């Protein structure tokens, strides 16, 4: 591969670009190609975090948060009551590590999602941050740098798996983005059905700054959310969008001015979740789906679709 022959960081970045193009384009067939060329400086992920922090939090954001935080407190699962009964809030709470994905956090998320899958009382899930100014800064790079090469792949697979588990929950999911959502943090938000954000929030898949590509589903979900061409542009450039820009490109559904408490997106997510509660519950919805599917079984179009698949041709439907 030509990119592999290039020296130093540029070679790594070009190789990353080639892998990224393959990841983005593979599901859409060989006609897609990488337009133009892309090179750029290597910038550490931490620079994005520091440079994108709202000024109001300043350098003292993390005061009052101990690095000795108990691991069981890194994810707070709250089952709301009274008029909010049926709403579950998953609150990420790793302030000292900017809510980044650690082995423990991934394990806790997986455990929580497993419990939600089988809980028929759950109607809507909100994913939020308990830490001001941060949603999730992606992978815990301090933990990552200590891993052997043989450990990295399996761990990234675990992150991808838990994000997929959230995407496959049988109830509506809402990401409340009140701060930075970078790399895996944005991939977590992309797995949710609905995304709302504060105007001051920052969002981006910035992995190409580290000579890697998104590994938590970003190459697949971002194009599905905003279109292939724009997704390529954002990933290749590692561009970070604010809330207004994210709304303009269709990455989020709602953008709010941040409030003094720093939870404007969460409050909007809660309003949406309350709006969902009176609607069709899962059991009823599945029964409706079953009844509707049954109506397609005796149709000629269903048989035509199967025959066309077998004969490897386009189906000729007649509405019968």
Q: Is 250 a catalytic residue?
A: no
User: Does 82 qualify as catalytic in the annotation?
Assistant: no
Active-site choice (15, 139, 198, 269): 139
Nearest to 215 by CA among 101, 57, 128, 65: 101
Which one from 137, 187, 189, 265 is the annotated catalytic residue? 187
Residue in 298, 300, 240, 282 with CA at minimum distance from that of residue 51: 240
Residue 274's SS3 state is: helix
- Six-digit token string for 19: 């892998």
207 a catalytic residue? yes
Of the residues 133, 207, 246, 269, which is catalytic? 207
User: Quick one: tokens of 314?
Assistant: 């386009």
Whether 151 is catalytic is no
Distances (CA, A) of 61 to 3, 57, 97, 98, 259: 41, 5, 12, 10, 17
Tokens in use for 70? 């108990």
134-136 β-sheet, strand order: 134-136, 180-182, 202-204, 241-242
First to last CA, the chain: 52
The CA-atom distances, in angstroms, between 46 and each of 81, 100, 154 are 38, 12, 24
Q: Which of 179, 184, 204, 215 is catalytic?
A: 184
In what helix (H) or strand (E) does residue 246 lie, and over which residues does it extend?
Answer: helix 243-248
Q: Active-site positions?
A: 139, 184, 187, 207
């Amino acid at each position: 591969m030509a990119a592999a022959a290039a020296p130093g960081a540029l070679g790594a970045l070009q190789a990353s670009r080639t892998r990224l193009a393959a990841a983005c384009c593979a599901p859409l067939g060989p006609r897609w190609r990488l337009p133009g060329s892309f090179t750029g400086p290597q910038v550490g992920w931490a620079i994005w975090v520091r440079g994108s922090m709202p000024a109001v939090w300043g350098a003292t954001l993390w005061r009052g948060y101990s690095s000795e935080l108990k691991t069981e407190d890194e994810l707070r699962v709250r089952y709301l009551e009274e008029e909010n009964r049926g709403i579950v809030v998953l609150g990420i709470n790793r302030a000292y590590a900017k809510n980044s994905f650690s082995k423990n956090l991934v394990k806790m998320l997986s455990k929580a999602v497993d419990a939600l899958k089988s809980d028929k009382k759950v109607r809507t899930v909100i994913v939020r941050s308990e830490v001001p100014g941060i949603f999730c800064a992606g992978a815990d790079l301090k933990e990552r740098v200590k891993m052997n090469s043989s450990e990295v792949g399996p761990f990234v697979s675990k992150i991808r798996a838990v994000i997929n588990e959230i995407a496959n929950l049988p109830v509506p999911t809402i990401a409340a983005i009140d701060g930075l959502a970078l790399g895996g943090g944005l991939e977590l938000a992309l797995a949710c059905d609905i995304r709302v954000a504060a105007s001051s929030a920052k969002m981006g898949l910035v992995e190409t700054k580290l000579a890697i590509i998104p590994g938590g589903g970003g190459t697949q979900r971002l194009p599905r959310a905003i279109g292939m061409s724009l997704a390529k542009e954002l990933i290749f450039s590692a561009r970070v969008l604010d809330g207004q820009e994210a709304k303009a490109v269709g990455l989020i559904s709602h953008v709010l001015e941040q409030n003094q408490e720093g939870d404007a997106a969460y409050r909007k997510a809660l309003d949406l979740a309350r709006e969902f509660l009176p609607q069709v519950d899962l059991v009823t919805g599945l029964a409706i789906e079953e009844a509707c599917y049954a109506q397609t079984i005796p149709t000629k179009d269903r048989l035509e679709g199967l025959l066309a698949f077998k004969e490897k041709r386009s189906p000729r439907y007649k509405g019968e």
